[in-house]
Amino acid sequence: MKIPALALSSALLALLSACGGGGGGGSTSPGPTPEVWRQAGIAVGNDAGNLLPGLAGVIMAEVVRCPGGYRMYVGAHNLSDGSMDIDYAESADGDTWTMKGVALASQGGPSGPEFQICGASILTLPGGRIRMYYQGTPNQGVTPRPYQLFSAISTDGVHFTREGIRLSSSLVDPTSPLVAAGRGRVIQLSSGGYELIFNGATSFAGGGWISVASSSDGLAFSQFQEAFLGHDPLVIWATDHFCLYYDSSVPGGGSVASAPLFTSTDGLTWNGSGQTAIFQNASGTPLVFSSDAVANSIGDIGGVVMADGHLRLFSNMIGMGSEIAYYERVNP
């Protein structure tokens, strides 16, 4: 992954400011300010009135278009035993959501590698099958946590069958070059191969890395490279280029939610010049990135290109009880 530290052309600056796709103002002209995303509602959670019984909350929304509207995959925390499944919800308009149930269930006991699964990332394969990449860990009481990246396959996007481990942790498999391999986004390249952008690092030093890896089949990944200090990348195709947003906060968070923004036309070479996206609540108060249950804190950015062509972003709304909020761009 190359990230050239160059002065950007006016054409590329236009791409950077157009990544939001015109949620509110919709300008595609470069502006002096970062993208500003304002909360427009709660998609899933107690405040939306649609959290399923027995759940403590939901995190890590992955939203995709599907026949009849939109489908959202979330990590769903079970009150009964602390496990986490990947549940799904559906919506006709992207505003009002109905939780449907479990797409992929936790398995094993608290010390099992898939006791808590979340961080779904969906890739539609040639021929129409749907592959879900997701992270799995034992119970949170295990320290350090051996995050691993798994995949599952589906013909309908609702019922998934496990395929196995895609990337392991050296805490589990000593031959792995990675201490952790968590949530990731997979891009299918025009060459026919795949590029994975994921939470992963060769050590626990540095506060967390977003790394990249390559694959010829979407199953076996290699050529690892640490690319950004940060975590939880969102990679999304916006008309004629990819956009990459990610959380650059330090562990524990607390900093104003300002997500770095990069673009790419091929999924391999990424360009950026400090352009960022910041987030506000519905009243315009700045939000912060945080893993703690404090007011006005968010995490784990997701997004989908809506039917009218604009990009909508999603995040955990941690201070409101692990709900999923959605955002529209108001500037520029």
- Reported as a single tens digit per residue, the pLDDT across 209-234 is 899 999 999 999 999 998 888 888 99
- Which residue type sits at 117? I
- Which residue type sits at 326? Y
> Rounded mean pLDDT of 309-316?
94
Name which of 131, 168, 137, 183 is nearest 152 in CA terms.
131
What b/e readout covers 193-204, taking b as 16+ CB neighbours within 10 angstroms?
ebbbbbbbbbee
- Rounded Cα distance between 145 and 267, Å, is 30
CATH ID of 10-331, from 2.115.10.20, 3.90.10.10, 1.20.1260.10, 3.40.50.360 = 2.115.10.20
- Which residue type sits at 314? F
User: Long-range pairs for 112-115 at CB < 8 Å and ≥24 separation?
Assistant: 112/138, 113/137, 113/138, 113/146, 113/148, 113/165, 113/172, 114/150, 115/82, 115/83, 115/84, 115/139
At residue 13, does pLDDT exceed 60?
Answer: no
Q: Both tokens of residue 45?
A: 């959670």
DSSP state of 2: B
DSSP state of 191: T
Q: Both tokens of residue 155?
A: 């013909």
209 CA to centre of own chain = 14
Name which of 130, 133, 135, 121 is nearest 153 in CA terms.
130
Q: What secondary structure does DSSP assign to 65-76, as a single string?
A: EETTEEEEEEEE
287 CA to centre of own chain = 18
At residue 195, does pLDDT exceed 60?
Answer: yes
Q: Which of 27-31, 197-201, 224-228 reaches the highest mean pLDDT?
A: 197-201
Considering the entire predicted model, what is its pTM? Answer: 0.89
Q: What pLDDT, on a 0 to 100 scale, did the predictor assign at position 332?
A: 77
Name which of 100, 89, 162 is nearest 132 in CA terms.
162
pLDDT tier at 290, thresholds 50, 70, 90? confident
